[in-house]
Amino acid sequence: MKVTKANIIKSVEQATGIKPDLEKYEGSYYWLGKEASLFCDRCVYVSALNSPKASIEVFVKDFKEKIAEIEREYEKPIVEVVAGIDWNIE
């Protein structure tokens, strides 16, 4: 499968049930979305999708590791953590 933003997002969603967004900013890719807003570090240290370091598996592994970190910290599934937050900030 070709490494594209759409394929990365689709693979992450299949692996985790969460559909994040992914954007490039100042030379690196960053996770976006409610779940990603909880990550200590939203950066995926890949500078280009055609780089030898870039693979869909790298992105999926990174996202899963960051979810696991949140779940250890809050001692519950990330879905419950996100559901318990009032996202209507005024």
**Measuring CA to CA, which residue among 44, 39, 31, 41 is closest to residue 70?**
39
Low-confidence ranges of the chain (pLDDT < 50): none
Q: What is the pLDDT of residue 52?
A: 85
Q: How far apart are CA 17 and CA 26, in angstroms?
A: 28
What is the per-residue pLDDT across 13-38, written as a single tens digit (0 to 9) for each? Answer: 999 999 999 999 999 999 999 999 99
Q: What is the pTM of this model?
A: 0.92
